[in-house]
Structure 1
Amino acid sequence: MAAEQNIKPQETSLYEVVDLLWRRKTLILVCLAGILLPIIIANFTLPPVYESQTTIIFEQSREPIAAFDVSDAFSRKSYIVNQIEEIKARTLAEEVAHKLAPETAAEILKDQGRGLSQEGRRQLLSQRIKKGISAEPIRDSDVILIKFQGPTPASAARTVNLVAETVKERSSQVKREQASSTRKFIEVQLPAVEAGLYKAEDAIKGFKARNQVVSLSDEAREVLARMTEIDKMYAGTVTQKMALEKKLEAIYTKLEYKPDFSEGSSKMTSGAVADSLRKSLLDLQIEATQLSIKGYHPEHPQIYKLNRQIEATKNKLVEELANISRGGQAKPMPEMSDLLAQIPPLQIELISLEARELAIRDFNTGYESDLSKLPYKELELTRLLRAKDVNENIYKMLLEKYEEAKITEAGKIGNVRVIDPAKEPLSPIKPRKALNLLIGLVVGLVLGVGLSFFLDSMDNSVKTAEEIETNFGIPVLGLIPSIQSEGPRKKKRNGRDEISKIASTLVTKYTPRSPISEAYRAIRTNIQFSKIDAPLRSIVVTSAAPSEGKSTTVANLAFTTALAGAKTLLIDADLRRPVVHSLFGLEREPGMTNILAERLAPEKVIKPSGVENLDILTCGAIPPNPSELLGSQRMKELVQQLKAKYDLVLFDSPPVITVTDTAVLSNQVEGVVLVVLSHGTDRRALARAKSLLSNVNANILGSILNKIDLTGIGSSYDYYYHYHYYYYSDDGQNVKRKGRFWDILRPGGRRG
């Protein structure tokens, strides 16, 4: 447990990061392929989508009937928002679908809707058009950008241009309807005003004939001039008020609502804020009208200040009325929102006109008292002339507006103008192949690298020799590279029927001059010098867990020792899963268990390996009690007997943490060597193995780090065998492997 607690985290260098990524390259490539493959398939299978765009501007009203037009009082921001909603409305899409050329409609629908009726195809087409239309305002302007996405460049351009033209036609139609409403109102008023004018003229003529009065005195003319001007202002105000009421009636009729104008605009608002703003607007408008009647110029500072206050109050009241109109209601249909947006500014204009009417009426009362002071005949003539002038002015104004309304109604004047007609796009916007591939590449790399680091953080295996020495306090006797021998392939080509496992593991036999054979020779030397005074005669080679390479390691170590001239005996002490006999192609029985159980002579059981100075003692029959057999007195005597006959006795024993066999055997020999699988042996298993061996006072000589990777660009031990390292080919030629460019990533840069 103490060994487990002493495990310390290792600092990570850039070279180790490269090593990690190289080891996980397969995972990274799989992640890249998993992300990129669907993207590539989608890029080549999805139909292209083309987008074309046009810009339109909603200009302020240029109508000649300004006296009856209050469009400037609209909130431009809400007006643009309403127009955008109308552009995206279903009714506009249906109108565009109805106008669209058959060939363009066929391009948009493609092969869909073949079995539908003409009406069904039109509905499907309008749905496609509605789905493909988008509109957005250009900031700080009255310009709207309209886009349409279609399957071909031509269909996208034609459709979006037709959308702009339809919006333009709709705007003209609204203007024509407004002009028609004004014309109808004037047509109703003209006969009455004309009759009043004729009546006034006849009254003047009869009065002059009866009373022999031809002209007025100077005083009477002055009073008449002032009153006529006031009456003219009053009549114009009343006429505008009536026109606005007619407009509101027309809007309410479309909204199926009946207004009551009998009490003016006082019932058109609700809420404390709206009522307060309405009262402020009335007061300001009355004050401005009184100053105008008194003869103040429109540019006078007082008039200018009042007009600015009036405009600010109107804007606030527009917002408040719009909020009241929207409160508690569901979002209206786009075709209704434009009508609703017209109501607040018209109501505010009514408030202003009421204020003007009230102010003019007050002034008129004062002039009536001045008029009553005139002589009777002059008074009557003045009143008749005043009535005639007022009717004449009203009649002229109505005639002028009537003609202007007829011109507007007959024309195609609207407040929408196309700025940039759409052109056919040169390339599709979907699929964006390069961007999709780039995103896929980034996502695949991030996913692969992320999984690599995640899996590495979850990997609790031993990876480096430094880790073994630092964290576990076990000396590293040597490193065994994971390099495949060329021996097996040569023997197969020569037609020899060798066991492939033997050929791939006993590299010291088949390729004695290879780097891996040199590694075993280095391990043999390190073991010899681990105890100089009394050379080691018996060693157990084991591992913490199964499948870590202990059997192949001890076999190759036995070969190396024998080739050095030392008389060596390799004993298969793994009485549960013996493999040594398979490595050398020998029969398992008789073996060591036969010596122990049947008391056979060792020399009758020991088999030659075919290599000079190397003998093999196989396992023998697998006993039911391996631990008791290995711990028996007979086993101790056998070890001493074999040590006397051989220079070195090597034992292949079971893994330490799985069974107690190795712990029992380890205190009968002079040393134990632990085989550690690089990136395979769990740290906790190694710590447990050391603890179990220490508990029986085993002499742990050191460890062998097996199967380290020397082939990758980030190999941590590449420099041990390839960097300024001479290794031998099978023909005996010296070969020097050059350092590689990624070695500069290793701490310390290039070496040698």
Structure 2
Amino acid sequence: MSIGSTSAESGRNGYLDLDGDGERSPYPAGFGLDFRRIWVLLRRNALIIAGIVTVAAIIGLIATLLMQPTYIAEASVQIEQETDRVLESQSVEPVAAYQDADRFLQTQTDILRSRAMSRRVAQALNLLDANSFFEAMGTEPPEEIPGMTLQQAKRDAVVDLLLENLLISLPQDSRLVTIGFRSPNPRLAARIANTYATEFIRSNLERKFESSSYARDFLSKQLAETKARLEQSEREVNAYARQAGLIRTEDDVEGGSGQQSVTSASLVQLNAAANDAIAARIAAEQKWRSVERTPALSIPDVLANQAIQGLLQQRSERTAALQQELERHRESHPTVLQLRAQIGEVNSQIDTLAAGIRSSIYNQYQSALLRERSLIAEVGQSKGARLAEQDRGVRFNILAREADTNRTLYDGLLQRFKEVSAAAGISSNNISIVDEAEQPTEPDSPKLPLNLALSILIGLAAALGIVFIREQLDDAIRAPEDVETKLSATTLGIIPAVDERPIDQLSDPRSPVSEAYNALRTALLYSTSEGLPASMFVTSSQASEGKSTTSLAIAVGLAKLGKKVVLIDTDLRRPAMHILLGLPNGLGLSDLLTSTQSLSAALRPTSHENLSFVSSGPVPPSPTELLGGMRFPEIVAELEADFDAVVIDGPPVLGLADAPIVAGIAAGTVFVVEANRGHRGGTKSAMRRLRSARASILGVVLTKFDNRKAGSDYGNYGNDYYSYGHHQD
């Protein structure tokens, strides 16, 4: 087996077999990105890419110029959770906790995006029933929808249009909300943005007023009922005192008691004191029971303590400082440890003070309990002497306490009613306008640089996709690397394309064509393990690819090395070698195949030393039968015995059987492919036919190669490839 075929076989390792013919595909198995090949493809298709990108940029430019410009006007409002307190308690609405600030702010932005807010804006600007708004927004008014009047459809369309072009922005860690509106009319955009801000504030005030109005109505009803009960209880007290004959002084009336004598007065005083003690004990007990199992920092008295508030403030400051230190230092850092110790000390002080306050509440309860028991004991001791008077005073005291209770409830409701009424008249608001929207002077869209950039990117992506598809569909043999990847064959030589006939340049030993064929000759000398094959068949897949010129150049090149060479023209259909050599096509191969004439009679000397020639002879009626007979192998064997090299110029493969027959007889086959003309499918099919005839393909000669058009790495050599030394600087 020849070196060429061996290298071709070994080159299949690690490649995908896509054709199912045992030959490697153009792409290695498990291949990755080949940046060199990508660069070659981009350079080869540079004009296509540039054209597509240019067209995309022009389309983007035209589309941008045809777009209607839109403007965005922005107003900003500040939203606070609480307003300035003019009164001690001026709002009946619950105040959101500061830990819930994000949800509160998100709720406010959702209110801004609500349909109700857009409907308020539309009503404020008289947009619901006018078609001018649709004209200003560059849209058509809606048509009547089944089940809905035209007016309803128009109002819904106005609200939808407002919501579609409303832009609400709430930056993180900020209470400043930006209200933007997009419109083709800059003046309208500014008006709508400002109206959204003012209507948002007005809506907030209305909600506050409505909630306080409901509270006032409720308090007014409760106040009237409590007042009636108070008047009734006071009338009952007076009626009972008159009926029982109890005479009360002014102080007695205010104290809710009345006596007939000093004894009864003393009993009443003791009884009143006992009642007060009971009430005080009940209040103290209730207070103690309410805080007995309550965490210290949840007790109102603890939280109201100035010292506790100061310590809580210190703990918050030290905790904040500790968090800052932890962001910069580790747990073991002295500053972190010191802050933790300080926080622990503050917590200890808070716990101590809180425990003291809890203990004082308990002591108050015990004191009230002792006082109650003491007064009850004194009343019990005086009970026998003053029992009659006490019986008359019990009913009076009950009625008096009921009147006092009603009076206390009435006073509380009256005070709260006054506060709510006063708060309703104060227009305090937690939302304020920071910046009003101004009429924009420049459109926000379309943005020409952005659109052009996107158009260029889209064009580039489309161009790359087209180039990729084009390259996948393009199986032309353009460059030497295509011979290796697409044909799975060895490149023996690269013959450059020239303006004149290549055969004319063979006479100049320093011409690019001569240098290229010299390189081919050298490759053939080492193409097999034994060196130069005894006989070489030169063919191609189709006509006019340069096989005859290549045959002559190989023969002449070997003859110049001093080898005895014979050149045979086996193209019995369209012979041309005798024309290249300037010899007559007399007695030739067809005569030798159809007669018993000796081989020496057909051998002709040429103008080249050591080179003999056997012409094709007359064109026979059936070249395939002549070449397939027993005579032709004998002629080749006889020439191999008499000459150092036998060069056979054969017909192209095409769809005929001539070339495979000759290739099976010759020791080696040189396959000629014209650059940019030969295609992978047809060329591989031709080479497969030769291999099926047991031909040993030495390699491929790429003819008419123009490095400027190939787009391959060979183009890096420029136009002076194979021209080193032709001129001096």
Coarse TM-score class (shorter-chain normalised): 0.5 to 0.7
Aligned counterpart, 1:706: 703
Counterpart check, 1:131 vs 2:128:
no
Counterpart check, 1:674 vs 2:667:
no
8 Å Cα contact 1:480/1:706 also seen in 2:
yes
Aligned counterpart, 1:628: 625
Give the root-mean-square deviation of aligned CA atoms: 6.6
Superposed displacement of residue 71, structure 1:
1.4
SS in 2 for 1:573: coil
Q: Which deviations, in whole Å up to 9, do the C-alpha atoms of 1:98-140 show, x marking residues without a partner? A: 2236698356432522988666544322221122235465545
Aligned counterpart, 1:212: 247
In the alignment, the residues of structure 1 paired with residue 196 and residue 209 of structure 2 have an alpha-carbon distance, to the nearest angstrom, of 20
Superposed displacement of residue 153, structure 1:
3.8
From 37, 41, 60, the equivalent of 2:81 is 60
SS in 1 for 2:713: coil
Q: Which deviations, in whole Å up to 9, do the C-alpha atoms of 1:158-209 show, x marking residues without a partner? A: 3233223222222222222212211222232333333344445556666777
From 183, 186, 189, the equivalent of 2:222 is 189
Superposed displacement of residue 408, structure 1:
4.8
Aligned counterpart, 2:133: 105
Aligned counterpart, 1:689: 687
For 1:483-502, what aligned pairs fall within 5 Å after superposition?
A: 483=497, 485-486=498-499
Aligned counterpart, 2:12: 7
SS in 1 for 2:708: coil
In 2 relative to 1, CA 18–155 (structure 1 residues): closer, same or farther, beyond 3 Å?
same
In the alignment, the residues of structure 2 paired with residue 682 and residue 292 of structure 1 have an alpha-carbon distance, to the nearest angstrom, of 88
Superposed displacement of residue 418, structure 1:
3.6
Question: Is the deviation greater in 57-66 or in 164-173?
Answer: 57-66
Which ranges of structure 1 fall in alignment gaps of 5 or more residues?
234-282, 305-362, 488-505, 737-752
In the alignment, the residues of structure 2 paired with residue 22 and residue 572 of structure 1 have an alpha-carbon distance, to the nearest angstrom, of 42
In 2 relative to 1, CA 123–386 (structure 1 residues): closer, same or farther, beyond 3 Å?
same
In 2 relative to 1, CA 35–614 (structure 1 residues): closer, same or farther, beyond 3 Å?
farther
Aligned counterpart, 1:91: 116
In the alignment, the residues of structure 2 paired with residue 368 and residue 534 of structure 1 have an alpha-carbon distance, to the nearest angstrom, of 134
Amino acid at match of 1:105: F
Aligned counterpart, 2:652: 654
Aligned counterpart, 2:360: none
In the alignment, the residues of structure 2 paired with residue 58 and residue 7 of structure 1 have an alpha-carbon distance, to the nearest angstrom, of 74
Superposed displacement of residue 479, structure 1:
0.9
Amino acid at match of 1:7: R
SS in 2 for 1:113: coil
Aligned counterpart, 1:479: 494
Aligned counterpart, 2:197: 164
In the alignment, the residues of structure 2 paired with residue 161 and residue 101 of structure 1 have an alpha-carbon distance, to the nearest angstrom, of 15
8 Å Cα contact 2:68/2:184 also seen in 1:
yes
Amino acid at match of 1:478: G
Amino acid at match of 1:689: M
In the alignment, the residues of structure 1 paired with residue 118 and residue 488 of structure 2 have an alpha-carbon distance, to the nearest angstrom, of 80
For 1:538-577, what aligned pairs fall within 5 Å after superposition?
A: 540-543=537-540, 545-546=541-542, 549-551=545-547, 554=550, 557=553, 571=569, 573=571, 575=573
In the alignment, the residues of structure 1 paired with residue 673 and residue 293 of structure 2 have an alpha-carbon distance, to the nearest angstrom, of 101
Amino acid at match of 1:149: R
In the alignment, the residues of structure 2 paired with residue 291 and residue 16 of structure 1 have an alpha-carbon distance, to the nearest angstrom, of 75
Aligned counterpart, 1:173: 206
Aligned counterpart, 2:336: none
Amino acid at match of 2:246: N
From 92, 103, 113, the equivalent of 1:69 is 92
For 1:146-545, what aligned pairs fall within 5 Å after superposition?
A: 146-200=179-233, 210-214=245-249, 215=251, 219=270, 222=273, 298-299=303-304, 376=390, 383=398, 386-409=401-424, 412-425=427-440, 427-442=442-457, 445=460, 476-481=491-496, 483=497, 485-486=498-499, 506-509=501-504, 517-522=513-518, 526=522, 540-543=537-540, 545=541
In 2 relative to 1, CA 721–299 (structure 1 residues): closer, same or farther, beyond 3 Å?
closer
In 2 relative to 1, CA 422–371 (structure 1 residues): closer, same or farther, beyond 3 Å?
farther
Superposed displacement of residue 92, structure 1:
2.7
In the alignment, the residues of structure 2 paired with residue 724 and residue 61 of structure 1 have an alpha-carbon distance, to the nearest angstrom, of 85
8 Å Cα contact 2:668/2:695 also seen in 1:
no
Superposed displacement of residue 597, structure 1:
9.9
The TM-score, its normalising length taken from structure 2, stands at: 0.59
The TM-score, its normalising length taken from structure 1, stands at: 0.58
Amino acid at match of 1:522: N
In 2 relative to 1, CA 57–130 (structure 1 residues): closer, same or farther, beyond 3 Å?
same
SS in 2 for 1:734: coil
SS in 2 for 1:211: coil
Aligned counterpart, 2:386: none
In 2 relative to 1, CA 688–546 (structure 1 residues): closer, same or farther, beyond 3 Å?
closer
SS in 1 for 2:670: strand
8 Å Cα contact 1:40/1:437 also seen in 2:
yes
Which ranges of structure 2 fall in alignment gaps of 5 or more residues?
15-27, 145-149, 253-265, 310-367, 384-388
Amino acid at match of 2:652: P
Question: Is the deviation greater in 628-637 or in 464-473?
Answer: 464-473
Q: Which deviations, in whole Å up to 9, do the C-alpha atoms of 1:464-489 show, x marking residues without a partner? A: 758979999977542123x4x546xx
SS in 2 for 1:159: helix
SS in 2 for 1:711: helix
In the alignment, the residues of structure 2 paired with residue 619 and residue 130 of structure 1 have an alpha-carbon distance, to the nearest angstrom, of 93
In 2 relative to 1, CA 381–287 (structure 1 residues): closer, same or farther, beyond 3 Å?
farther
8 Å Cα contact 2:551/2:649 also seen in 1:
no
SS in 2 for 1:98: helix
8 Å Cα contact 1:204/1:385 also seen in 2:
yes
In the alignment, the residues of structure 1 paired with residue 438 and residue 373 of structure 2 have an alpha-carbon distance, to the nearest angstrom, of 68
SS in 2 for 1:161: helix
In the alignment, the residues of structure 2 paired with residue 118 and residue 472 of structure 1 have an alpha-carbon distance, to the nearest angstrom, of 75
Q: Which deviations, in whole Å up to 9, do the C-alpha atoms of 1:651-672 show, x marking residues without a partner? A: 242238x544223224666763
In 2 relative to 1, CA 535–367 (structure 1 residues): closer, same or farther, beyond 3 Å?
closer
In the alignment, the residues of structure 1 paired with residue 11 and residue 520 of structure 2 have an alpha-carbon distance, to the nearest angstrom, of 29
Q: How many residues align?
A: 597
Q: Which has the larger radius of gyration?
A: 2
In 2 relative to 1, CA 579–222 (structure 1 residues): closer, same or farther, beyond 3 Å?
farther
Aligned counterpart, 1:25: 46
In 2 relative to 1, CA 85–473 (structure 1 residues): closer, same or farther, beyond 3 Å?
closer
Q: Which deviations, in whole Å up to 9, do the C-alpha atoms of 1:574-605 show, x marking residues without a partner? A: 74xx5969x99x9xx99999868999x99xx9
Aligned counterpart, 1:734: 727
SS in 2 for 1:478: strand
In the alignment, the residues of structure 2 paired with residue 523 and residue 433 of structure 1 have an alpha-carbon distance, to the nearest angstrom, of 57
SS in 2 for 1:479: strand
Q: Which deviations, in whole Å up to 9, do the C-alpha atoms of 1:398-419 show, x marking residues without a partner? A: 3444344445555655544344
Superposed displacement of residue 392, structure 1:
3.9
Superposed displacement of residue 549, structure 1:
2.6
In the alignment, the residues of structure 2 paired with residue 486 and residue 101 of structure 1 have an alpha-carbon distance, to the nearest angstrom, of 82
Q: Which deviations, in whole Å up to 9, do the C-alpha atoms of 1:348-397 show, x marking residues without a partner? A: xxxxxxxxxxxxxxx99x99998996973665665555444444444444
Amino acid at match of 1:98: Q
Q: Which deviations, in whole Å up to 9, do the C-alpha atoms of 1:593-636 show, x marking residues without a partner? A: 9868999x99xx99xxxx9x99997898795x542232346767
